[in-house]
């Protein structure tokens, strides 16, 4: 943790948003009108759901202990499960979850006392604490579930499905929290949350206070079953990790003649081999596949939200995601290569050829989707005042972003997780260099185009022409500087990325 800027900023983010949200929701339920305790269940379910959501998007930067590392030692799954449980609950995010539960407990207890149902406060306290355990244990159980995969392909599919589920949940969460759901629908969601794994265990007390004995019994069974199931899943993953530590990393699929690196139609040249390797591994390497699949789905999700939410900027943000997708992969292309950089170095691959083909390959994976997206976006949007500026400027930003990506690729490389690592266990994005790359990826390609974009406000055509000229200049200059850097410092760059994290 010490000196790890990315990890520290993540913890600050969790603390500020977690405590702020807990306090705000605490005031809401403490002073809610009447004796309707459904809101207590809804707030608790929201807390568990949010914790799992953020745990999926931002893996823990503190927990570095993996059960498969103990495979060579004379220990059993039960021997290490207790120690790993202690390590899990000792994390800052786990302590934050418990602290948020305490805030919710105080607010909910006040509401129950004021409503004349103080008898059920102890049940509410125990249920809320168990809800925090459900959130913490659930995040770790899902993260370790990849150990149950039979082979590498199964592991990669599991990681991809998990990423898509997390994104779908995030989109639903955004729609609800942005007030796009009617009060009646929100009330129904709150009532249903009593019978979900998110709100069941904490909802026993409020259900009893509201006279819903049947609901309380159902919630107790669902909540208890959820805790037991997560504990079993977590323990089962330890057993598999200790007995077969490399099973999920093995590709046991039969070899085919079409599995050669060089794709059909490509000439037998170094450039074609470099492009073919990127294109072929785009569907094999989960680190790339998750990004390439998630980006279009996220963009479509933003379009859907834009169709529901009037005057929402999310469709434009989706276009930016597609524009930057290819460049964002290129930003750490040498880090994704990892140890295989050595092959390119000793075989005498020309750095200019390497970077050029990487740029072509990564850009071709994502940018072709941009034009169809902008066409669909035209029919989705209700207000087209800003559309001409975005439709013309975003492709220019994509070109500029490729130039920025070339620079980051050689000036700011960082080691990545090994291929097949699930998103919830991938901690490679938590180094200082990774944080810089993520920050630039948010829109760094637009910065060189600012003069043209500003001019287009008054003179549209000259401004956009200037923006495209600046984007091409940015691409050419950055590519030249990057190739020169790689020619001179390739061994130094390899030393930074030669080991997986």
pLDDT digits (tens, 9 = 90+) for 300-309: 777 877 777 7
Give the residue with greater pLDDT, 155 vs 88: 88
Report residue 477's pLDDT band, with 50, 70 and 90 as the boundaries.
Answer: very high
Nearest residue to 186 via CA among 42, 62, 90, 64: 42
Contacts of 24 (CB under 8 A, 6+ apart): none
pLDDT over 70 (residue 92): yes
Answer yes or no: are the C-beta atoms of 144 and 88 closer than 8 Å.
no
pLDDT over 50 (residue 231): yes
Q: How far is CA 325 from CA 150, 265, 348, 378, in A?
A: 31, 26, 29, 21
Q: Residue 61: its pLDDT value, please?
A: 61
Round to whole Å and give the CA distance between 98 and 105: 10
pLDDT over 80 (residue 367): yes
Q: Residue 218: its pLDDT value, please?
A: 92
User: Stretch 266-287: mean pLDDT, rounded?
Assistant: 81
Q: Residue 34: its pLDDT value, please?
A: 47
Q: What percent of the chain has pLDDT over 90?
A: 13
Q: Residue 445: its pLDDT value, please?
A: 82
Report residue 402's pLDDT band, with 50, 70 and 90 as the boundaries.
Answer: very high
**pTM for the whole structure:** 0.70
Report residue 36's pLDDT band, with 50, 70 and 90 as the boundaries.
Answer: low
Give the residue with greater pLDDT, 391 vs 297: 391
Report residue 20's pLDDT band, with 50, 70 and 90 as the boundaries.
Answer: low
pLDDT over 70 (residue 211): yes
Structural Rg of the chain based on CA atoms: 25
Round to whole Å and give the CA distance between 393 and 408: 22
pLDDT digits (tens, 9 = 90+) for 320-343: 888 888 788 888 888 888 888 888
Report residue 418's pLDDT band, with 50, 70 and 90 as the boundaries.
Answer: confident
pLDDT over 90 (residue 470): yes
Number of Cβ within a 10 Å radius of residue 168: 12
Round to whole Å and give the CA distance between 379 and 272: 39
pLDDT over 60 (residue 120): yes
pLDDT over 70 (residue 56): no
Round to whole Å and give the CA distance between 164 and 422: 12
For 383, list phi and psi in degrees, rounded to 5. -115, 115
User: Stretch 253-277: mean pLDDT, rounded?
Assistant: 71
By the 10 Å C-beta count (0-12 exposed, 13-18 middle, 19+ buried), 33 is classed as exposed
Tokens of 459: 């003179």
- Domain coordinates of the chain in residue numbers? 5-249, 257-497
Give the residue with greater pLDDT, 280 vs 455: 455
pLDDT over 60 (residue 183): yes
Round to whole Å and give the CA distance between 421 and 290: 11
pLDDT over 60 (residue 105): yes
pLDDT over 50 (residue 29): yes
pLDDT over 70 (residue 156): no
User: Stretch 93-104: mean pLDDT, rounded?
Assistant: 82
| Highest-pLDDT range among 216-220, 231-235, 494-498 | 216-220
pLDDT digits (tens, 9 = 90+) for 58-78: 666 665 667 777 777 777 777
**For the ranges 136-150, 171-185, 486-500, which has the lowest average pLDDT?**
171-185
Round to whole Å and give the CA distance between 110 and 30: 6
Q: What is the mean pLDDT of the chain?
A: 78
Q: Residue 194: its pLDDT value, please?
A: 85
List own/partner pairs for 469-476 with CB under 8 A and 24 or more apart. Answer: 470/396, 470/400, 471/396, 471/397, 471/399, 471/400, 471/403, 471/445, 472/399, 473/448, 474/399, 474/400, 474/403, 474/404, 474/445, 474/448, 474/449, 475/399, 475/400, 475/402, 475/403, 475/406, 476/403
Q: Residue 472: its pLDDT value, please?
A: 94
pLDDT over 90 (residue 499): no
pLDDT over 90 (residue 225): yes
Q: Residue 324: its pLDDT value, please?
A: 84
């Amino acid at each position: 943790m010490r000196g790890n800027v990315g990890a520290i900023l993540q913890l600050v983010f969790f603390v500020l948003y977690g405590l702020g949200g807990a306090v705000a929701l605490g005031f809401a339920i403490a002073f809610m009108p009447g004796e309707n305790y459904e809101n207590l269940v809804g707030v608790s379910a929201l807390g568990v759901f949010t914790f799992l959501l953020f745990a999926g998007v931002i893996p823990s930067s503190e927990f570095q202990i993996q059960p498969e590392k103990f495979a060579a030692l004379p220990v059993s799954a039960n021997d290490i499960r207790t120690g790993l449980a202690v390590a899990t609950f000792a994390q800052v995010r786990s302590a934050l979850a418990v602290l948020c539960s305490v805030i919710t407990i105080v607010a909910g207890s006040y509401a129950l006392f004021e409503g004349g149902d103080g008898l059920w406060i102890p049940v509410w306290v125990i249920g809320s604490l168990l809800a925090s355990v459900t959130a913490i244990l659930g995040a770790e159980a899902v993260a370790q579930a990849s150990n149950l995969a039979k082979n590498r392909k199964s592991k990669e599919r599991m990681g991809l499905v998990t990423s898509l589920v997390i994104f779908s949940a995030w989109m639903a969460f955004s729609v609800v929290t942005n007030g796009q759901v009617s009060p009646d629908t929100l009330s129904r969601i709150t009532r249903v949350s009593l019978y979900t794994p998110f709100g069941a265990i904490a909802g026993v007390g409020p259900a009893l206070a509201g006279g819903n004995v049947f609901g309380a019994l159902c919630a107790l069974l669902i909540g208890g079953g959820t805790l037991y199931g997560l504990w079993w899943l977590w323990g089962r993953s330890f057993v598999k990790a200790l007995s077969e530590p490399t099973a999920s990393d093995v590709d046991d699929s039969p070899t085919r003649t079409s599995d050669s690196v060089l794709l059909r139609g490509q000439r037998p040249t170094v450039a074609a081999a470099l492009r073919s390797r990127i294109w072929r591994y785009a569907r094999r390497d989960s680190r790339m596949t998750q990004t390439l699949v998630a980006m279009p789905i996220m963009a479509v999700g933003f379009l859907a939200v834009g169709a529901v939410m009037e005057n929402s900027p999310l469709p434009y943000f989706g276009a930016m995601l597609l524009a930057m997708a290819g460049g964002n992969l290129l930003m750490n292309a040498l880090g994704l290569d990892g140890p295989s950089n050595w092959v390119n170095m000793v075989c005498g691959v020309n750095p200019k050829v390497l970077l050029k083909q990487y740029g072509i390959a990564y850009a071709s994976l994502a940018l072709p989707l941009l034009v169809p997206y902008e066409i669909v976006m035209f029919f989705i949007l209700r207000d087209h005042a800003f559309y001409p500026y975005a439709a013309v400027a975003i492709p220019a930003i994509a070109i500029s972003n490729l130039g920025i990506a070339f620079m980051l690729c050689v000036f700011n490389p960082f080691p990545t997780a090994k291929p097949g690592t699930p998103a919830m266990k991938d901690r490679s994005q938590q180094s200082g260099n990774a944080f810089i790359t993520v920050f630039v990826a948010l829109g760094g390609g637009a910065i060189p185009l600012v003069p043209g974009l500003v001019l287009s406000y008054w003179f549209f055509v000259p401004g956009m022409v200037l923006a495209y000229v600046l984007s091409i200049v940015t691409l050419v200059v950055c590519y030249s500087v990057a190739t020169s850097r790689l020619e001179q410092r390739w061994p130094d760059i390899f030393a930074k990325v030669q080991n997986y994290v």
